């Protein structure tokens, strides 16, 4: 499948490298507002076409799928334009800020029989599937704890007076939407939407959340999701039941290591070698090859649930995009 990459930031480069590992994908074009950055990405990965106009790339009949790797606030409009142009879409996280926008995009994809994916590593990782398999082994679940705290170099820029997109309310930035989102995907992918949502952020003076703790209440257990871009700590997910626990490291975005620990029984562990993006790209390639629209649309329902939780969290904390 021929890809058109929209955006040239670090995640676009990461994904271009992963696409190159999977024969089903061919990076056919890149689009950037600045020709120089587009040409730099194209040269690095042997991409033959460079566009500076998104509509022109959408009009290219050789491109089957658009990979959107732009600031969060642009995802909705750019994904909608691609779907209306008859292109399949892989949209970077976070998908869109609101359930209304998610519903419109999902409706368009179904109506036009197109693939639409959120690029989220968690859902495609082999160890995430193993968590689902081993949940019954730890007995009734009582506590889920997720931590993703990664100090951002862009936080230094914020402190110096700049406003990078990731810390700009106008760009739908913040720790919740950038990092804590992975924790939400991990939990909602397993258990669906919670009964209640509350978000307790640390706010910068421009109103953006640089870190925060999200509390999710389920009928039989409690969950806390901590995400931070203004400090650093080891990442992990722990699911703690009455008969044992499951530990995931280094966290919800990269389920590299899984440990199943039950008192009186042998510890089970598994470690995966590939990057989390490789599993994501390989899994999506398989769905595309099989023309498995049902699996795509089922994944979109989980994405919609995550959007709903994030929107509720922002409303609870009075974070207004």
Q: What angle do CA 309, 312, 318 make, to 5 degrees?
A: 140
Q: What pLDDT is stored for residue 64 in this prediction?
A: 98
- DSSP category for residue 149: E
Residues 119, 223 contacting (CB under 8 angstroms): no
170 vs 11, 72, 100, 181, 321, CA distance in Å?
A: 20, 9, 18, 18, 6
In the sheet that 2-6 helps form, which strands lie side by side, from edge to edge?
49-51, 26-31, 2-6, 65-68, 88-92, 116-119
Question: Cβ of 234: how many Cβ atoms within 10 Å?
Answer: 9
6 vs 112, 179, 191, CA distance in Å?
A: 21, 21, 33
pLDDT tens per residue, range 37-96:
999 999 999 999 999 999 999 999 999 999 999 999 999 999 999 999 999 999 999 999
CA dist., res. 125 & res. 283, Å (int): 9
> Which among 28, 25, 32 is positioned nearest to 8, based on CA atoms?
32
Low-confidence ranges of the chain (pLDDT < 70): none
Q: What pLDDT is stored for residue 106 in this prediction?
A: 98
> Which among 145, 148, 151 is positioned nearest to 215, based on CA atoms?
145
Give the chain's end-to-end CA distance (angstroms, integer). Answer: 35
Residues 75, 96 contacting (CB under 8 angstroms): yes
Q: What pLDDT is stored for residue 321 in this prediction?
A: 72
Q: What pLDDT is stored for residue 257 in this prediction?
A: 98
Residues 120, 280 contacting (CB under 8 angstroms): yes
């Amino acid at each position: 499948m021929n890809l058109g990459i929209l955006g040239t930031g670090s995640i676009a480069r990461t994904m271009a490298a992963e696409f190159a590992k999977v024969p089903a994908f061919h990076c056919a074009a890149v689009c950037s507002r600045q020709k120089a950055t587009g040409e730099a990405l194209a040269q690095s990965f042997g991409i033959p076409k460079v566009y500076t106009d998104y509509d022109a790339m959408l009009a290219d009949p050789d491109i089957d799928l658009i990979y959107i790797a732009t600031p969060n606030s642009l995802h909705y409009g750019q994904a909608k334009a691609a779907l209306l142009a008859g292109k399949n879409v892989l949209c970077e996280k976070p998908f869109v800020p609101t359930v209304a926008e998610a519903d419109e995009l999902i409706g368009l994809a179904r109506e036009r029989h197109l693939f639409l994916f959120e690029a989220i590593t968690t859902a495609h990782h082999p160890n995430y599937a193993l968590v689902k398999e081993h949940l019954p082994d730890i007995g009734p679940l009582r506590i889920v704890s997720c931590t993703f705290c990664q100090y951002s170099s862009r936080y230094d820029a914020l402190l110096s007076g700049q406003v990078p997109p990731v810390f700009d309310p106008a760009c739908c930035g913040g720790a919740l939407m950038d990092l804590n989102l992975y924790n939400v995907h991990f939990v909602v992918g397993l258990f669906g939407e919670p009964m209640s949502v509350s978000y307790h952020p640390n706010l910068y003076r421009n109103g953006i959340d640089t870190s925060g703790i999200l509390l999710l209440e389920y009928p039989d257990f409690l969950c806390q999701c901590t995400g931070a871009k203004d400090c650093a700590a080891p990442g992990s997910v722990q699911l703690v039941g009455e008969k044992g626990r499951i530990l995931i490291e280094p966290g919800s975005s990269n389920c590299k290591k899984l440990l199943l620990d039950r008192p009186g029984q042998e510890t089970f562990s598994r470690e995966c070698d590939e990057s989390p993006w490789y599993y994501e790209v390989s899994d999506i390639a398989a769905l595309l090859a099989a023309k498995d629209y049902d699996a795509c649309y089922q994944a979109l329902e989980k994405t919609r649930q995550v959007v709903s939780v994030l929107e509720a969290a922002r409303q609870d904390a009075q974070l207004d995009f």
